A and B are shown apart, each in its own frame.
Chain A
Amino acid sequence: QMQLQESGPGLVKPSETLSLTCTVSGASISTHSWSWIRQPPGKGLEWIGLLFFSGSTNYNPSLKSRLTTSVDTSKNQFSLRLSSVTAADTAVYYCARRGPSSVADVWGQGTTVTVSS
């Protein structure tokens, strides 16, 4: 059974870079596509971007200039880096599998990131 687990620092200072990793178990990262999604406190869901198993990516235009993603097949992980963060980037960050019809059918439990000095 596929499982996803997000990890990374829970606190990031303004203007610094937020780095998160999603570790996949129960499936090979190379045979699926993956999404990052976030949820600010008390608010709705915002799609961040996706990584195809081919290595190509698509990002939300609102974040594209600050966003970098990567895949480490040796560790069965994929990662997100968001630069120049502000308080508006405070959120629970989720990784998810992008399944058939691009549905997010398997989610990690989420990790809370707070941007604060």
Chain B
Amino acid sequence: DIQMTQSPSSLSASVGDRVTITCRASQSIGTYLHWYQQKPGRAPKLLIYTASSLQSGVPSRFSGSGSGTDFTLTIYSLQPEDFATYYCHQTYNIPDTFGQGTKLEIK
């Protein structure tokens, strides 16, 4: 299985900050990497697909980049509704695997 390692596991930031979350794959996955946001008690919501494509309806302050083994999710100018847990997800090989999550908290 492809291992997905996210960092950091948790992060404290303030409204207006720029934050970056990284995801590293244990082998090259091209751009078969997707990012989700999850709030407590809710299903994950797709933010970014194939590493850098913004899902329809997602604010443009969310941005993804990377290819191969190293990927980043950047949130420019954090808003109060952005405090949540973020997961990366690879679909290059079956079984799909997810990162362990990054919890973004208010400082």
Contacts and interface: CB of A to CB of B under 8 A. Distances in A.
Given A60-B95, A101-B49, A104-B44, A44 B55 contact: no
A109 interface: yes
A45 B43 contact: no
Instruction: Please classify how large the interface on chain B is, using the bins under 10, 10 to 19, 20 to 34, 35 or more.
Output: 20 to 34
Highest count of chain A CB atoms <10 Å: which of B89, B94, B95, B97: B95
A47 B91 CA distance: 10
Contact of A103 (B43, B49, B98, B101): B49
Contacts of A59: 95
B98 A44 contact: yes
Interface residues of A, number: 23
A46 B98 contact: yes
A107 B43 contact: yes
B11 to A, nearest CB: 16
A105 B98 contact: no
Interface in B43-77: 43-46, 49-50, 55
22 contacts: A44-B100, A45-B44, A45-B89, A45-B101, A58-B94, A60-B95, A61-B1, A62-B95, A94-B44, A99-B49, A101-B32, A101-B34, A101-B50, A101-B91, A102-B32, A102-B91, A102-B96, A103-B34, A103-B46, A103-B50, A103-B89, A110-B43
